[in-house]
Amino acid sequence: MSRIGTRLALRAAEGKAAFVAYVMAGDPDPGISAEILAGLPGAGVDVIELGIPFTDPMADGPAIQLAGQRALAGGQTLAGTLEMVRAFRETDGETPIILMGYYNPIYSMGVGAFLAAAQAAGVDGLIVVDLPPEEDAELCLPAREAGLDFIRLATPTTDDARLPAVLANTSGFVYYVSITGITGAAAAEAVAVAPEVARIKKASGLPVCVGFGVKTPERAAEIAGVADGVVVGSAIVERIGRGESPAEVLAFIRSLADAAHGD
C-alpha cells in the first residue's frame, strides 16, 4: 500500500477523516514556502497537495491563480518543486505528498524524466486536472507503473455513465469536487455531498476526499462527517497571499485539521 493509502487507512481505523492541505510550491517565495511545507505535518496535515505553478490554471479561482503568479515571479519551476519534495523527505519519510497541477510543465520536462525525478524525490501521487481518462496513456498509466498513485477528480456532473471511465485507473483516493466551478467559488454543503460520496465509494472501493468550497473549520467538520477526507486549498493560499507569517498560516491549518479530525 502506498503512503497515501496507508495514511487514509490509519485515519479510517481511528474513525476519523483525513485532512488534506493544498499549498502552492514557491508561494510567496521559496524560503517561506519551504518553511510552511515543513510545518504541515506538525499542524495535523495527513496528506499534502503541493501545487505546481502554471501560467494558465483553468480549474483554479483567483486565490490559487495569484499564488501561481507569485511563485512563477519568484522563479519557481517544476524542477524546483521536485527539489522541495526531496528536501522535505530528508526529515519526513511518512507524510504523503501529491503534486497537483497541469500537464504542460510535465510534458515540457518529458514524462519519463519527470516520473523518474518524482519517484526519486519522494512524490507519492499526482493530480493532473487537464488530462481526461481518454488520455491515460499519456501520463496516468506510466505513473501507475512507476509506483505513483494517479488521483482523479469526480464532480457533481460526473454521472453514472461517465463515472466508470473516471475511476478506471484511479488509485489512492477519489477527489470529489463538491461544487460546479473553480476553486474557492462557493461553499460545500454536506447534505449535497453525502450521497455523491456514497455513490463514488460504492463504484470505486476507494476512499473519497472532498474539496473545493471548504473554507472554515466549521465546514471542514461538516464535510468530515460524510467523507473519508477533507481538502482545503484556497482558504490557506489566501492567507499566504495576505502576507500572514508561516506561524499564522500553520495555526489556521491546525484549526482546520483539528476540525476535520473531530478533535
Q: Where do the structural domains in the chain lie, given as residue ranges? A: 3-258
pTM of the model: 0.95
Specify whether the CB–CB gap between 261 and 91 falls below 8 A. Answer: no
Q: CA 26: distance to chain centroid?
A: 16
Catalytic residue among 46, 60, 124, 222: 60
Catalytic residue among 46, 49, 124, 136: 49
Q: Is 60 a catalytic residue?
A: yes
CATH topology for the 3-258 domain:
TIM Barrel (3.20.20)
pLDDT tens over the chain, length 263 residues:
899 999 999 999 999 999 999 999 999 999 999 999 999 999 999 999 999 999 998 888 899 999 999 999 999 999 999 999 999 999 999 999 999 999 999 999 999 999 999 999 999 999 999 999 999 999 999 999 999 999 999 999 999 999 999 999 999 999 999 875 545 445 667 888 999 999 999 999 999 999 988 999 999 999 999 999 999 999 999 999 999 999 999 999 999 999 999 98
Q: Is 189 a catalytic residue?
A: no
